[in-house]
Amino acid sequence: MTDYHNFIDGAWIDSDQRNQNINPSDTDDVIGAYAQADSNQTESAIEAASRAFESWSTGGIQQRADALDVVGSEILARKDELGRLLAREEGKILPEATGEVVRAGQIFKFFSGEALRAGGDLIPSVRPGIQVEVTREPVGVVGIITPWNFPIAIPAWKIAPALAFGNTVVFKPASNAPGSAWALAEIISRAGFPDGVFNLVMGAGSVVGSALLNDGRVNGVSFTGSVATGQRVATDCSRRGAKFQLEMGGKNPLVVLDDADLDTAVECAVNSAYYSTGQRCTASSRFIVTPGIRDEFVAACVERLQGIRVGHALGEGVQIGPLVDQQQLQQSLDYIEIGRAEGAKLVTGGERVSCDTPGFYLSPALFTGTSNEMRINQEEIFGPVASVIDVANLDEAISVANDTEFGLSAGICTRSLGAATRFKRESRAGMVMVNLPTAGVDYHVPFGGIKNSSYGPREQGRYAAEFYTQVKTAYIQPA
């Protein structure tokens, strides 16, 4: 088994403690032992990032663009190998994992270009003879805290814009899936960034994450993960005036109207709720269905789900891999019991699946006879579990869709332009999908939600500049 170290101030640094990364498709397969930083090592990384900031932020944008481009090219060239690693450590199936790696490579390429395109405004003053210049400057040292469910794409869409706009980075990946993060860091370490500009600090959230949140030298924190941890990020950062950005949960609705194309609706439902084993913040777990299509839709979903192959993420023809670990598996099983106790009817799935290798397998579960107030329809399950909620019409569908503390993505299947337009306008969500799954987004457009799903500026695309820069307004009168 190989040991993987942290990357601090341009050097690979070992720690006394290790975290073993286990393959959720085969718990006998240990992927590696990953160094666990303590608070002193985290402080060294913050100190290095702080020292490197001055010259990196004022240095040439060509150097930034070139280095980001090198990272993107290497990720794309190694997509098959990195995809296998990702599938092995996180449990999403190989095509999804390889797709995620490609997305990460494309993100670095995109932000390589953005480094060169950063601009400002020159605005005439209301006072004659004076010019007002609006420019964007980097924020400083940025702490990046990421989850396990997109272990290379989410780090990519935070690290690439941070570096492109002249910030320095201390990156803390999830303990559940450090392998892809380490591989990304190793690529970045050889891409031409000066020492200290990028630092990888693997370790427990309560140690490394907490140190990042509470250190006055960390000027901004970008976080994706649970609502509970997101709230802690918010409290700690606001206490000391640091900038922060949060991407958290979802309870995303998929509305299916009578006039929907049935095949499209079933495809959208199955993809949204069950692909990536339901472990996406954009996953749909509430199918909100009108009466004219309801029975056909449920029957077609059940047939499709019963034909789905659950198994090892690297297995040929497998469509759904395991949950990421025992805790996530147990969380889904618990919600299945909660749903039953609430009076919902489990029409298919929700059972542990035995495969050739020991892993956290669960068959895709669908409830009917549910109402929106039930806990299974209000709380994020983050597993392959969804419910059908019966509604009378579009009015009720919109009202039920919006009746949640979350607001990340929302989908509708319909052939009516009028219904789709109204849903788009009235959805209390940051992203709306029409005849498309609620999950699976492009890498070059804004990503994020409202209500308890997100806080702060949008991520991704050119909108990422909002978080990773701050605006300076200068008034200039030629002497």
Catalytic positions: 247
Contact partner at residue 229 from ligand AKG, ligand NDP, none, CB < 5 to 8 Å by partner kind:
ligand NDP
Closer residue to ligand AKG in complex, CB, 339/411: 411
Closer residue to ligand NDP in complex, CB, 109/251: 251
| Separation CA 115–CA 121 (nearest Å) | 17
Using CA atoms, how far residue 296 sits from 262, 290, 291, in Å, is 8, 11, 10
Contact partner at residue 48 from ligand NDP, ligand AKG, none, CB < 5 to 8 Å by partner kind:
none
Tell me how crowded residue 20 is: count the other CB atoms within 10 A of its CB. Answer: 10
Contact partner at residue 174 from ligand NDP, ligand AKG, none, CB < 5 to 8 Å by partner kind:
ligand NDP
Contact partner at residue 100 from ligand AKG, ligand NDP, none, CB < 5 to 8 Å by partner kind:
none
- The distance of Cα 118 from the centroid of its chain, to the nearest Å, equals 25
Contact partner at residue 282 from ligand NDP, ligand AKG, none, CB < 5 to 8 Å by partner kind:
ligand AKG
| Separation CA 461–CA 445 (nearest Å) | 4
**Residue 232 interacts with ligand NDP (CB under 6 A): yes or no:** yes
Contact partner at residue 178 from ligand NDP, ligand AKG, none, CB < 5 to 8 Å by partner kind:
none
Helix (H, G, I), strand (E, B) or coil at 50: helix
Q: Out of 199, 224, 272, 438, which residue is the one contacting ligand NDP (CB under 6 A)?
A: 224
**Residue 159 interacts with ligand AKG (CB under 6 A): yes or no:** no
For residue 269, the minimal CB distance to ligand AKG (Å) is 15
| Separation CA 12–CA 41 (nearest Å) | 12
**Residue 339 interacts with ligand AKG (CB under 6 A): yes or no:** no
Pattern 106-145, binding to ligand AKG, x per CB under 6 A? ----------------------------------------
- Within 382-441, the residues that bind ligand AKG by CB under 6 A are 439-441
Token readout for 64 is 């930034």
Name the strand (E) or helix (H) holding 367. Answer: strand 365-370
Tell me how crowded residue 272 is: count the other CB atoms within 10 A of its CB. Answer: 28
For every residue of 114-152, DSSP letters joined together read: HHHH---EEEE-SSTT-EEEEEEEE-SEEEEE--SSSTT
Closer residue to ligand AKG in complex, CB, 109/136: 109
- Within 52-111, the residues that bind ligand NDP by CB under 6 A are none
Contact partner at residue 440 from ligand AKG, ligand NDP, none, CB < 5 to 8 Å by partner kind:
ligand AKG
CB 37 within 8 A of CB 6: yes
CB 277 within 8 A of CB 383: yes
**Residue 185 interacts with ligand NDP (CB under 6 A): yes or no:** no
For residue 227, the minimal CB distance to ligand AKG (Å) is 13
Looking at this protein, which amino acid is placed at residue 33? A
**Residue 224 interacts with ligand AKG (CB under 6 A): yes or no:** yes
Nearest CA to 401 out of 425, 369, 367 is that of 425
Q: Out of 23, 25, 112, 146, which residue is the one contacting ligand NDP (CB under 6 A)?
A: 146
Which range in 148-156, 192-200, 266-274, 399-407 contacts ligand AKG by CB under 6 A? Answer: 148-156
Q: Burial level of 113, CB count in 10 A (0-12/13-18/19+)?
A: middle
Contact partner at residue 454 from ligand AKG, ligand NDP, none, CB < 5 to 8 Å by partner kind:
none
| 241 phi-psi bin (left φ>0, alpha ψ -120 to 50, beta other) | left
CB 466 within 8 A of CB 137: no
**Residue 281 interacts with ligand AKG (CB under 6 A): yes or no:** yes
| Separation CA 285–CA 479 (nearest Å) | 63
Q: Out of 5, 92, 280, 312, which residue is the one contacting ligand AKG (CB under 6 A)?
A: 280
Number of residues that bind ligand AKG (CB under 6 A): 10
Closer residue to ligand AKG in complex, CB, 31/107: 107
Using CA atoms, how far residue 321 sits from 312, 348, 383, in Å, is 6, 17, 11
Pattern 326-345, binding to ligand NDP, x per CB under 6 A? --x--x--------------
Tell me how crowded residue 471 is: count the other CB atoms within 10 A of its CB. Answer: 12
105's CB contacts (< 8 A; 6+ apart) are: 72, 73, 75, 76, 79, 156
Closer residue to ligand NDP in complex, CB, 164/381: 381
Token readout for 60 is 């040439």
Which range in 59-67, 98-106, 203-211, 287-295 contacts ligand NDP by CB under 6 A? Answer: 203-211
**Residue 150 interacts with ligand AKG (CB under 6 A): yes or no:** yes
Are β-strands 11-13 and 17-23 bridged in parallel, bridged antiparallel, or unpaired?
Answer: unpaired
What residues make contact with ligand AKG under the rule CB under 6 A?
149-150, 154, 224, 280-282, 439-441
Could you list the residues that contact ligand NDP (CB under 6 A)? 145-149, 172, 174-176, 204-206, 209-210, 213, 224-226, 229, 232, 247-249, 281, 328, 331, 380, 382
